[in-house]
Amino acid sequence: MTHGTQNSPSYLDAPYGIWSWLLTKDHKRIGIMYLISVTVFFAIGGLFAAGIRTELLTPQGDFLTADLYNKLFTLHGVVMIFFFLIPSIPATLGNFLIPIQIGAKDLAFPRINLLSWYIYVIGAVFTLAAVFMGGVDTGWTFYTPYSSIASNTNVVLAALGVFITGFSSILTGFNFIVTIHRMRAPGMTWFRLPLFIWAHYATSLVMILGTPVVAITILLVFAERAMGFAIFDPRAGGDPVLFQHLFWFYSHPAVYIMILPGMGVVSELVAAVSRKQIFGYSFVAYSSLAIAIIGFLVWGHHMFVSSQSIYAGLVFSIITMIVAVPSAVKTFNWTATMYKGSVTWESPTYWVIGFMGLFLIGGLTGLFLGTMGLDVHLHDTYFVVAHFHYIMVGGAIMAFLGGVHFYWPKMTGRMYPEAMGKISAILVFVGFNLTFFPQFVLGYLGMPRRYHAYPEDFQILNVLSTAGAGVLGLGYALIVFYLVASLFKERNAPANPWGATGLEWQIQSPPITLNFESDPIVTEDAYNYAGRAGHGGHAKKAGEV
């Protein structure tokens, strides 16, 4: 089966027109549509964060009212988690790369893939409606009974938005699982798969096993609020802690939905910038599955100070220590890959190294919080805020941006200025640490999260944090600026600008609509850098065995 000739137009060129995008079934175009959407939501969530950090410049709480502050941190969380972080890597880079990396023409269900984007947009409309009709103030966790009985804000709209968006995540995960099982090219065995695929497979497992539970939980809150049902209502004998169990059954694994794809990106980048086979490939592959599975057994560490039994807490605490092991395996293997590799200092290298440093701090402070006794002191302080930002912003967003920088030439056919890529990575790294490291100290000293005012003693650290947020914002804005600017230049990206292995680098940039001129047949392991003449010397075309 051959489709077209060497002169087939790229997926960006054929066909043209707005409807050719809005009705597209091409996984690459849907990935681009997701990229634009999540960027918009990242900007919106960033604006909310700017409001929070501005308020915290002074201890008095004089910039925003307490009510408005509550709404800002809630919306910051809801937008960043459900509309940016969860779809960020899977729905953009994952959508774009998974079929190409396994040698398929598309995902197994292209129409469902498009449907998932529309569902995401509909969920986004509900949530934005909640914002414009006065916001919501429950915190992104929607804890009952505050969310179901007490709050007089737009919980129903916001919850429906999250409920709907959940289905876009379910459909993405479902599509990836079937695609990875059923669409691999001949010769693409499980242990030849790029680690990006393993990570997304594990992510998809979490998406399909966890998301439905939070969906029904949010629907139950909706039923309480909108229909007067009693599920978690203490007045009827209901238990609000049951809500926490059901919520964290999804929302703890959801952290792995955010970080596992980032780990997949980092595995690709580490191998490429080191020009070396990943150290301990199968360990890295299995550790993704281990994280996905063990990640389902630790949710109670969010509930140490609730009425949860102390024995359950003990077990959750121990399993939390265990789930750190596969993450550590990955980190060790990445560093071992770089050790004695031919590391070149390109912009993806900066992002990868930034990721490793920040993820390491985020992961290790997670162990502090998973320790039941210590958590009683640190619970709901800025220590927690700093910890999860180190994972989600320091880890997931550094990986996301690293991936965007690495795959930008493939996705758009354009190169960006290398110097800018490096400067922005440094800005983001410095700005990030300046923003969030002081928050560890603040939390340790006892500053609680979710208050708009604080004792004067905490001001210096808060000013540092806000200053860092400014640097961080500048770094992000710079990236948008030069990446968008690159779109107006000519397409000059070669097929394989980094000299990397993998099917995605053997096809033209940007790829043609059907990805491959002829169906590829895979004959080598992933990251076979050793089997090459030299850096970037790999010129084997797809299908040319």
Pattern 432-451, another protein, x by CB under 8 A? --------------------
Of 78-86, 269-277, 296-304, 503-511: span binding another protein (CB under 8 A): 296-304
CA gyration radius, the chain: 23
CA 102 to chain centre: 21
Task: Provide CB contacts within 8 A for 217, sequence distance 6+.
Answer: 243, 246, 247, 250
For residue 518, state whether it binds another protein (rule: CB under 8 A): no
For residue 242, state whether it binds another protein (rule: CB under 8 A): yes
Whether the Cβ atoms of residue 155 and residue 147 lie closer than 8 Å to each other:
yes
With respect to another protein, which residue has the nearer C-beta, 317 or 333? Answer: 317
CA distance 334 to 138: 39
For residue 286, state whether it binds another protein (rule: CB under 8 A): no
For residue 239, state whether it binds another protein (rule: CB under 8 A): yes
Q: What are phi and psi of 276, to 5 degrees?
A: -150, 145
For residue 149, state whether it binds another protein (rule: CB under 8 A): no
Whether the Cβ atoms of residue 38 and residue 88 lie closer than 8 Å to each other:
yes
Residues 358-387 interacting with another protein (rule: CB under 8 A): none
Minimum Å distance from CB 58 to another protein?
38
Of positions 73, 249, 334, 407, contacts another protein by CB under 8 A: 249
Task: Provide CB contacts within 8 A for 397, sequence distance 6+.
Answer: 85, 88
Core vs surface per residue 90-111: b (16+ CB within 10 A) or e: bbbbbbbbbbbbbbbbbbbbbe
Minimum Å distance from CB 381 to another protein?
22
Q: Cis omega (within 30 of 0) on the bond before 145?
A: yes
With contacts defined by CB under 8 A, how many residues of the chain interact with another protein? Answer: 64
Residue among 220, 254, 69 nearest 145 (CA): 220
For residue 228, state whether it binds another protein (rule: CB under 8 A): yes
Of positions 310, 340, 373, 533, contacts another protein by CB under 8 A: 310
List 518's β-bridge partners, or say none: 2
With respect to another protein, which residue has the nearer C-beta, 228 or 534? Answer: 228
Q: What are phi and psi of 381, to 5 degrees?
A: -105, 180
Minimum Å distance from CB 108 to another protein?
4
Residues 78-117 interacting with another protein (rule: CB under 8 A): 99, 104-110
Of 237-245, 326-334, 367-375, 534-542: span binding another protein (CB under 8 A): 237-245
Minimum Å distance from CB 174 to another protein?
5
The single-letter code of the amino acid at 111 is: R
Of positions 189, 282, 342, 523, contacts another protein by CB under 8 A: 189
With respect to another protein, which residue has the nearer C-beta, 174 or 388? Answer: 174
For residue 211, state whether it binds another protein (rule: CB under 8 A): yes
CA distance 258 to 393: 10
Of positions 297, 367, 464, 495, contacts another protein by CB under 8 A: 297
List 448's β-bridge partners, or say none: 381
The single-letter code of the amino acid at 36 is: I
Of positions 24, 138, 153, 217, contacts another protein by CB under 8 A: 217
Of positions 181, 377, 450, 535, contacts another protein by CB under 8 A: 181
Number of Cβ within 10 Å of residue 358's Cβ equals 25
Whether the Cβ atoms of residue 342 and residue 288 lie closer than 8 Å to each other:
no
CA distances from 298 to 284, 317, 324, 450, 528 (A): 21, 7, 11, 24, 37
Of 40-48, 218-226, 255-263, 450-458: span binding another protein (CB under 8 A): 218-226
CA distance 384 to 439: 9
Give contact residues for another protein (rule: CB under 8 A).
1, 99, 104-110, 170, 174-175, 177-178, 181-190, 208-213, 215-217, 219-220, 223, 227-231, 233, 235-239, 242, 245-246, 249, 296-297, 299-300, 307-312, 315, 514, 519
